[in-house]
Amino acid sequence: MNLPELPEVETVRQGLIQGLQGKTIRDVLIRREGLRFPFPDDLPTVAGTTVLDIRRRAKYLLIDLDDGRVLLSHLGMSGRYTLFSSEEADAVAVPLLQTVNGGVPVSAFGSQTGYDGKHDHLEFVFTDGTRAVYTDPRRFGVIDLFPRIEEPVHALLERLGPEPFEQWSAKDLAARLQHRKTAIKIALLNQHIVVGVGNIYACEALHRSGLSPRREARTLVRKNGTPTKRLEQLVNEVKQVLDEAIAAGGSTLNDFASVDGTLGYFAHRFTVYGREDEPCLKDGCGGTVERITQSNRSTFLCPRCQR
């Protein structure tokens, strides 16, 4: 099972900001004690606040509220948000006899969110009648609430590396790889080195760059600490493959859905990931894609053109 990667999370962010920005939360329906961690005790106090903005840091969604707090959300392995208009919400607003969590109605959106509503753990109700339902069957997601002033020292955020779309360059990456003997694929997955690349897109970027995922990271840095041409190409390919995935709406992971319930289509364009024993798609290569295991994750590569 693959976790939603940066393009999937960015797709969700874009959908949420279109659907929620400027809206005021009227109520929060909480149907369990937590997910990977317990829900914050003060989660109900977001009622009455207005959503100012929705940002992304690595794979975390950061929802800025007008009272100076941030509602943090991580999708885990299978989390998703589904937005419902006031008309859609009214259509299913029938009296329900069954309740959970001290009287909270069982989700009425099961046919739209899946699993008969059993995993609709949070439901944000807005003053205009719209709703945002968070569904997570595996419950590896994270919800937290904290003052924005504490964001730089938040335990989940403070040690994260640079974003691949900001002022991230081959020079920055070289500085972090200069003395690392670890394989370059593993280095790309290290969230202290660069955030959000993820397993699928690391495989794709390395294939495009012609770099073996087994190659020692430090061999891509010159003795004086400057990046080699191959490292510069890798950085460019990482940015390009993530850009393409975001434009395509994220990859079609088994349990990933964007906020309108539709799936992305970038998976149909993978050149190496998931293509074990199939021909390499690079012109003139003639190699065959192999799968190896690195740090308990599947890596796909063409040993002929990736060195």
Give domain status of residue 163, yes or no: no
| Phi/psi at 90 (5° precision) | -65, -30
Q: Given this model, what pLDDT does residue 291 score?
A: 98
Q: Given this model, what pLDDT does residue 98 score?
A: 57
**Is 232 assigned a catalytic role?**
no
Give domain status of residue 17, yes or no: yes
Q: Which one of 4, 7, 164, 227 is the catalytic residue?
A: 4
Give domain status of residue 165, yes or no: no
Give residue 282's identity as a one-letter amino acid code: K
**Is 5 assigned a catalytic role?**
yes
Q: Given this model, what pLDDT does residue 292 score?
A: 98
Domain shared by 115 and 14, yes or no: yes
Q: Which one of 118, 214, 282, 297 is the catalytic residue?
A: 297
Q: Which one of 13, 56, 57, 59 is the catalytic residue?
A: 59
Q: Which of 100, 127, 153 is the last residue before a domain boundary? A: 153
Domain shared by 149 and 18, yes or no: yes
Domain shared by 137 and 252, yes or no: no
**What residues contact 165, with CB distance under 8 A and at least 6 apart?**
239, 242
Domain shared by 199 and 250, yes or no: yes
Q: Name the DSSP letter for residue 251.
A: -
Tokens for 293, please give them.
Answer: 């295991």
Q: Name the DSSP letter for residue 262.
A: P
Q: Given this model, what pLDDT does residue 102 score?
A: 65
**Is 59 assigned a catalytic role?**
yes
Boundaries of domain holding 100: 6-153
What is the H or E stretch that residue 47 is in?
Answer: none
Q: Which one of 5, 8, 204, 237 is the catalytic residue?
A: 5
The number of folded domains in the chain is 2
Task: Mark the ranges of the chain whose per-residue pLDDT is less than 50.
Answer: 95-97, 252-253
Domain shared by 240 and 277, yes or no: yes
Give domain status of residue 48, yes or no: yes
Global confidence as pTM: 0.89
**Is 180 assigned a catalytic role?**
no
Domain shared by 41 and 149, yes or no: yes
Q: Given this model, what pLDDT does residue 263 score?
A: 53
Q: Given this model, what pLDDT does residue 194 score?
A: 96
Burial of 294 (0-12, 13-18, 19+ CB in 10 A): middle
